[in-house]
Amino acid sequence: MRSVVSVTVFLTLLALPSSQFAQSEPPLSPLPDEKPPLVRLPNGRTQRDAILKADHAHNIEDVNEIIRLAGELKTDFEKNTEYVLSVQDMKKLDDIEKLTRRIRARMKRF
């Protein structure tokens, strides 16, 4: 009796459409080697070039800020006779790290 029930359940499962058990596949994405078409701006330059130029200007500003913060940090370290960092020095270090991450993210964009 038990084997009859097992066979019946097995045959019922085989009779069901397989689409009920199949997982939906993700849509096909474009190939990674395919590049999006170049978008031209009204002045004739490509949008990518304009973005790169703006990123370069932002990178220069951020590097100048890093240099300023590093100089202040150096003078603070030279003045400090204790072996402990002040809260302001920690804030400067955090700002330098944040600016560095921002530059790195811009450099990885293209």
More confident call, 9 vs 54: 54
Contact 103, 63 (CB under 8 A): yes
- How do residues 22-79 score in pLDDT, each as one tens digit? 556 666 655 666 777 788 888 888 999 999 999 999 999 999 999 999 999 999 989 8
pLDDT the model gives residue 85: 85
Residue 106: pLDDT over 90: yes
Residues in the chain: 110
| pTM for this model (two decimals) | 0.63
pLDDT the model gives residue 89: 94
Q: Which 8-state DSSP code applies to residue 26?
A: P
Which one, of 46, 27, 49, 29, lies nearest residue 38 by Cα?
46
| 3-23 CB burial, b ≥16 within 10 A, e <16 | eeeeeeeeeeeeeeeeeeeee
Residue 7: pLDDT over 70: no
For 32-59, give the DSSP string: TTPPPPPPBPTTS-BHHHHHHHHHHHHH
pLDDT the model gives residue 38: 83
Mean pLDDT of 3-12: 58
